């Protein structure tokens, strides 16, 4: 596998130095599509995202954007070229203010910030890998005048416990309208504990075509992740008192700690094809800009759009037990029969196909068109497959044990109203209702309104948002058939209501956000590992603050979040989570930027969930509390022209402050380790 990493690196470097493959100056002309002239349902991407002081690279030849998953509207998206804080961005802890995981890069995880969890997928086994799965609203598309390549390699640990990641992206324009590219993310972590390795293979091929009349964006993505599952430590005390468990051995390391399971693994695979395209109806008129001869440049004004979005996604999961006696002894129930004394591996499969058709009236084509209006209809087909037993009426043509297939189909109608031009007042509101099929009665409605103004000469923004949802529980919360867990539930729909707001002050580097959420019929995993529906009402109150301070070479960045769950037995959350980063940044010889500092992650103690390998879910527990320790990292980040490199001492507090560094029940984070990485960008 190491050779494949070198091959990928070689191919991307070769592609980056072959600019002749693409036309230079491939940016769109004013009368064609241009990200600097987005109108109607598009959001303008500000040039500030690509200034020298923002990226450190001093170019404006690259634009990046993301899409809304249903209608394919544009969302501004910064490019990963920032000078500072590269080290933290490569850690699992860098993916959320506070996150619980089972130790390794690429391993199952769950954010502790409840408002960031989102809805459960029908294929719930993939939810633990959300940070690594690219969805339409996280997939980037590009417009670039010259080929763009960005590669990053990180490594940490010794030969027996090393974790490595290689990720990169290559994109280029062919002419003014067509862009193609690809990205990949490869993770291989051997693990600091027994049977705790993880491997992620994630790649995507994408393309976009944009002109006045027709716009299309598409990608194909494939994702596979394999985790060895050890179930956590047998006795948590081994972390703080390893000598008590050494049995006379000297120099006991974390790989010697007794774990619950060996020779057990989970493998989740995912593939997706996404396409959104639209035909624009409109007219041309002279703009205020002129060409070299002083003639007005024609600008296309879209009036309406006919939109189609196609989204096909499939998942598969296999739980390999490989005759593990430890896991056999851990569960009292057996639901699937042994075949010749061989334990059958659990498996599950699903695919979903969505077709959305929409008609949009665009904002701003005339002075009286103060907002955009879109109506759509979506057809959604789903298929699921899992093991089952034949009933008495089926035994005449089915074996006693076989795979059962479930089919579901739903039809949704929806609408969106938006005002995205201007700064005084902008808003977005959309809703959808299932009118036919298995999810009939399900609906979602959400909206946001904001205003921007100047405060002390700098931008300030006030935003209010909210949503109301009545959703059908995920399929595998309703049905799941495995060797150790078997359920078929008749759950009621879950209702969610949220209202909140945020304030951004550029003049003081302040971001303040607060909200309250009410949940009815909330579904969680109980202590026995089975899904349970809470019939009462839950409330979650949250408030967060980002406050940064800068003075000359000194930087101090802070983020805090307070959460209050009305029922900690059902929805346990840490009351307080924090991240603080203190550093000095300076230049050497006017070309080398150096950031020297340390950061700390912290959360108050609470009954953190236990990750259950047999279901890949996080279940509540009342065994012990986890938290109330600092996870400290010391680092040096450097930036030289188009390269960034760093060295990090991870979890230094485990050696000098607190060795009780658990992330989830029975799952500690990695002990102190040295990590390093390098990122190189080509844009020529």
- Buried b / exposed e over 157-193, threshold 16 CB at 10 Å, is beeebebbbbbbbbbbbeebbbbbbbbbbbbbbbbbb
pLDDT of residue 598: 96
Which of 538, 535, 533, 532 is CA-nearest to residue 498?
538
pLDDT of residue 573: 97
Residue with the larger pLDDT of the pair 478 and 57: 478
Whether the CB-CB separation of 470 and 518 falls below 8 Å is answered with no
Q: Residues 6 or more apart from 424 whose CB is under 8 A from it?
A: 451, 452, 453
Above 50 in pLDDT, residue 505? yes
- Buried b / exposed e over 129-150, threshold 16 CB at 10 Å, is bbbbbbbbeebbbbbbbbbbbb
Length of the chain in terms of residues written = 684
- Note down the domain range covering 98: 2-211+224-253+270-434+441-683
User: Per residue in 507-555, pLDDT tens?
Assistant: 999 999 999 999 999 999 999 999 999 999 999 999 999 999 999 999 9
Can you give the pTM of this predicted structure? 0.87
User: Per residue in 568-610, pLDDT tens?
Assistant: 999 999 999 999 999 999 999 989 999 999 999 999 999 999 9
Which of 606, 650, 657 is CA-nearest to residue 628?
606
Above 70 in pLDDT, residue 304? yes
Whether the CB-CB separation of 207 and 175 falls below 8 Å is answered with no
Q: Which two tokens stand for residue 493?
A: 């729909």
Q: Where does the pLDDT of residue 54 fall: very low under 50, low under 70, confident under 90, or very high at 90 and above?
A: very low
Whether the CB-CB separation of 347 and 315 falls below 8 Å is answered with no
Which of 650, 634, 643, 627 is CA-nearest to residue 678?
643
In a domain, 480, yes or no: yes
What's the Cα-to-Cα distance from 631 to each of 490, 588, 666, rounded to whole Å?
42, 30, 17
Task: Write the DSSP string, 48-87.
Answer: GGGSHHHHSS----EEEEEE-TTT--EEE---S--SS-HH
User: Per residue in 546-555, pLDDT tens?
Assistant: 999 999 999 9
Q: How many Å apart are CA 640 and CA 593, to the nearest integer?
A: 7
Whether the CB-CB separation of 30 and 38 falls below 8 Å is answered with no
pLDDT of residue 81: 66
Q: How many Å apart are CA 73 and CA 305, to the nearest integer?
A: 11
User: Per residue in 105-156, pLDDT tens?
Assistant: 999 999 999 999 989 999 999 999 999 999 988 999 999 989 999 999 999 9
pLDDT of residue 391: 65
Which of 378, 338, 342, 344 is CA-nearest to residue 358?
378
Q: How many Å apart are CA 370 and CA 73, to the nearest integer?
A: 18
User: Per residue in 634-665, pLDDT tens?
Assistant: 999 999 988 999 999 999 988 777 778 999 99
pLDDT of residue 656: 74
Whether the CB-CB separation of 510 and 546 falls below 8 Å is answered with yes
pLDDT of residue 422: 83
In a domain, 343, yes or no: yes
Rg value, the chain, Cα: 26
Whether the CB-CB separation of 297 and 291 falls below 8 Å is answered with yes
pLDDT of residue 500: 97
Considering 35-39, 172-176, 412-416, the range whose residues carry the highest mean pLDDT is 412-416
Cβ neighbours of 523 (radius 10 Å): 19
Above 50 in pLDDT, residue 8? no
In a domain, 265, yes or no: no
In a domain, 83, yes or no: yes
pLDDT of residue 394: 59
In a domain, 146, yes or no: yes
pLDDT of residue 397: 61
Q: Which two tokens stand for residue 12?
A: 């991307």
Whether the CB-CB separation of 531 and 487 falls below 8 Å is answered with yes
Which of 78-92, 241-255, 348-362, 446-460 bottoms out in mean pLDDT, i.e. has the lowest? 241-255
- Stretch 251-279: mean pLDDT: 93
Q: How many Å apart are CA 290 and CA 448, to the nearest integer?
A: 37
Cβ neighbours of 470 (radius 10 Å): 20
pLDDT of residue 526: 96
- Stretch 79-101: mean pLDDT: 88
pLDDT of residue 326: 85
Q: How many Å apart are CA 394 and CA 381, to the nearest integer?
A: 26
CATH assignment of the domain containing 619: 2.40.170.20
Q: Residue by residue, what is the 3-state secondary structure of 372-421?
A: EEEEEEEEEEEEEEEEEECCCCCCCCCCCEEEEEEEEEEEEEEEEEEECC
pLDDT of residue 35: 35
- Match 């346990």 to its residue by tokens: 572
Q: How many Å apart are CA 679 and CA 166, to the nearest integer?
A: 10
Which of 300, 303, 431 is CA-nearest to residue 363?
303
In a domain, 200, yes or no: yes
Cβ neighbours of 300 (radius 10 Å): 19
DSSP tag of 7: H
Above 60 in pLDDT, residue 14? no
Q: How many Å apart are CA 60 and CA 262, to the nearest integer?
A: 52
In a domain, 264, yes or no: no
Above 60 in pLDDT, residue 23? no
How many domains in the chain? 1
Above 70 in pLDDT, residue 468? yes
Which residues sit opposite 446 in a β-bridge? 430, 467
In a domain, 218, yes or no: no
Q: How many Å apart are CA 511 and CA 504, to the nearest integer?
A: 5
Q: Residues 6 or more apart from 567 whose CB is under 8 A from it?
A: 534, 536, 538
- Stretch 390-414: mean pLDDT: 78
Q: How many Å apart are CA 472 and CA 417, to the nearest integer?
A: 25
Q: How many Å apart are CA 476 and CA 352, to the nearest integer?
A: 14
Q: What average pLDDT is seen over the chain? A: 87
């Amino acid at each position: 596998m190491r050779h494949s990493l070198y091959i990928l690196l070689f191919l991307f470097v070769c592609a980056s130095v072959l600019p002749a493959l693409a036309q230079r100056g491939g940016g769109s002309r004013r009368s064609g599509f241009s990200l600097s002239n987005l109108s109607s349902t598009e959001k303008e991407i500000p040039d500030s995202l690509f200034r020298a002081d923002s990226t450190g690279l001093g170019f404006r030849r690259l634009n990046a954007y993301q899409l809304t998953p249903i209608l394919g509207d544009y969302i501004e998206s910064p490019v990963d070229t920032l000078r500072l804080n590269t080290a933290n961005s490569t850690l699992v802890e860098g993916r959320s203010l506070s996150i619980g995981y089972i130790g390794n890069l690429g391993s199952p995880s769950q954010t502790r910030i409840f408002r960031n969890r989102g809805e459960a997928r029908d294929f719930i086994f993939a939810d633990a890998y959300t940070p690594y799965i690219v969805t339409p609203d996280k997939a980037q598309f590009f417009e670039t005048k010259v080929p763009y390549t960005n590669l990053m390699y990180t490594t940490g640990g010794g030969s027996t416990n090393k974790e490595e990641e290689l990720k990169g992206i290559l994109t280029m324009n062919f002419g003014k309208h067509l862009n193609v590219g690809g990205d990949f993310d490869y993770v291989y972590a051997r693990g600091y504990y027994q049977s705790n390795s993880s491997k992620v293979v994630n790649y995507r091929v994408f393309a976009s075509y944009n002109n006045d009349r027709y716009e299309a964006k598409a990608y194909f993505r494939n994702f596979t992740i394999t985790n060895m599952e050890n179930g956590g430590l047998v006795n948590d005390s081994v972390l703080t008192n390893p000598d008590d468990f050494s049995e006379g051995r000297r120099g006991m390391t974390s790989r010697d700690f007794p774990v619950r399971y060996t020779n057990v693994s989970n493998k989740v695979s995912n593939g997706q094809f996404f396409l959104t395209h639209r035909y624009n109806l409109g007219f041309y008129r002279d703009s205020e800009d002129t060409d070299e001869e002083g003639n007005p440049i024609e600008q296309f004004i879209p009036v309406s759009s006919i939109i189609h979005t196609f989204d096909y996604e499939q998942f598969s999961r296999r739980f390999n037990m490989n005759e593990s006696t430890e896991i056999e002894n851990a569960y009292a129930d057996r639901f699937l029969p042994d075949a010749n004394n061989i334990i059958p591996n659990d498996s599950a499969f699903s695919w979903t196909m969505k077709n959305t058709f929409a008609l949009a009236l665009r904002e701003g084509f005339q002075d009286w068109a103060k907002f955009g209006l879109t109506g759509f209809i979506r057809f959604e087909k789903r298929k699921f497959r899992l093991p089952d037993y034949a009933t008495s009426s089926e035994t005449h043509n089915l074996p006693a044990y076989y795979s059962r297939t479930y089919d579901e189909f739903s039809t949704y109608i929806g609408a969106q109203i938006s005002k995205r031009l201007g700064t005084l007042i902008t808003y977005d509101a959309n809703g959808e209702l299932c009118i036919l099929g298995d999810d009939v009665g399900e609906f979602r409605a959400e909206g946001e309104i904001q205003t921007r103004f100047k405060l002390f000469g700098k931008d300030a923004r006030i935003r209010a948002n909210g949503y109301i949802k009545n959703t059908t529980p995920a399929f595998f919360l309703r049905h799941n058939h495995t060797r150790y867990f078997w359920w078929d539930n008749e759950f009621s729909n879950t209702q969610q209501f949220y209202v909140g707001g945020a304030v951004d002050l550029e003049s003081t580097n302040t971001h303040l956000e607060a909200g309250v959420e009410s949940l009815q019929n909330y579904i969680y995993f109980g202590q026995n590992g089975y899904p349970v529906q809470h019939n009462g009402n839950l409330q979650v109150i949250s408030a967060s603050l980002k406050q940064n301070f800068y003075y000359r070479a000194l930087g101090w960045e802070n983020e805090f979040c307070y959460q209050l769950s009305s029922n900690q037995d059902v929805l346990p959350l840490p009351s307080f989570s924090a991240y603080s980063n203190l550093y000095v940044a300076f230049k050497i010889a006017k070309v080398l930027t150096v950031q020297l500092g340390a950061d700390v992650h912290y959360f108050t103690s609470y009954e953190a969930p236990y990750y259950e390998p047999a279901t890949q879910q996080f279940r509540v527990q009342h065994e012990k509390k986890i938290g109330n320790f600092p996870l400290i990292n010391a680092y040096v980040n450097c930036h030289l022209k188009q390269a960034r490199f760093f060295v990090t001492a991870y979890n230094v507090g485990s050696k000098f402050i607190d060795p009780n560094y658990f992330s989830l029940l029975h799952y500690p984070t990695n002990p102190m380790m040295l990590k390093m990485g390098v990122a190189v960008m080509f844009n020529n």
